[in-house]
Amino acid sequence: MNAIISATELASDLAGPRPPVLLDVRWQLSVAKTAGEPVFDGRAEYASGHLPGAVHIDLDRELAAAPGAGGRHPLPGLAEFGAAMRRAGVSAGRPVVTYDGGQGWAAARAWWLLRWTGHPDVRVLDGGLPAWPGPLSTDEPSPAPGDFEPVPGATGLLDADGAAALARSGLLLDARAGERYRGEVEPIDPVGGHIPGAVSAPTARNTAPDGRFLPAGELQARFKELGAGGDTEVGVYCGSGVSAAHEVLALTVAGIPAALYAGSWSEWSADPRRPVATGPEPQ
């Protein structure tokens, strides 16, 4: 099963006998430093218009625990995540499609969490809401509660020690922008740079200008050039485990399994015991 779905395919599935649950996960990274700066409100965006039947999911509250030692977006508690998914109507025997405003990061976070906790049929709308050609709705649905019970471990997950080890023994990709990897700027976390041994692989290069993923063959070629392929074990991190999920999704489209370091740079850089590399090279 493909990990992404086109808007045309989704429209067909919604009209079919087994329509998927739709999760609207609009979100964007906020780097506001002072009070009064605008902060993106996913709930307001949802209320202004969403795919008919879609349920709003809050990334910061339902797809992550509170910020702390585990990073800016630690994994949510299983009980809380399961409750949010059941509230949205998610069941183990029904397909799920996630979407966001087009960047794909938040939708991929929901996709990864559902896959990691054992949901067998979840996909991301390629290109997000801007790719949808049909009408939008302002009605808020009240779906029947789902039965999904999350069981972790269906896909790969790394902690800080595991990420450090993989950077030495396999391929650890850094999904952030190149200037953050090199340590030239760091707008959010306390220290710039990257995990020693990690390879720069900005997730933005996996998509076309309209937000859709590049064809699988092009993604395969890109990741092969970065060192993926064969028996090489692959892991991905970013700033806080959100855009890295998008890169794991791109790798999945390319047919390459990859683990996610959920704590990512926000966890790593907050620990003074962890080494930091700067510059364009992995070491």
The residues pairing with 50 across neighbouring beta strands, listed in sequence order, are 137
| Distance from C-alpha of 46 to C-alpha of 42, rounded to nearest angstrom | 6
Catalytic residue among 3, 238, 256, 260: 238
The residues pairing with 234 across neighbouring beta strands, listed in sequence order, are 171
- Burial state string for 184-223 with b = 16 or more CB within 10 A and e = fewer than 16: eebebbeebbbbbbbbbbbbbebbeeebbbbeeeebbebb
User: What is the H or E stretch that residue 243 is in?
Assistant: helix 243-253
Annotated active-site residue 13? The verdict is no
Report the DSSP pairing between strands 122-125 and 157-158: unpaired
| Distance from C-alpha of 216 to C-alpha of 234, rounded to nearest angstrom | 17
CB 63 within 8 A of CB 57: yes
Ramachandran region, residue 120 (left: φ > 0; alpha: ψ -120 to 50; beta: rest): alpha
Assigned token pair, 126: 């390629």
Ramachandran region, residue 99 (left: φ > 0; alpha: ψ -120 to 50; beta: rest): beta
Residues marked as catalytic: 238
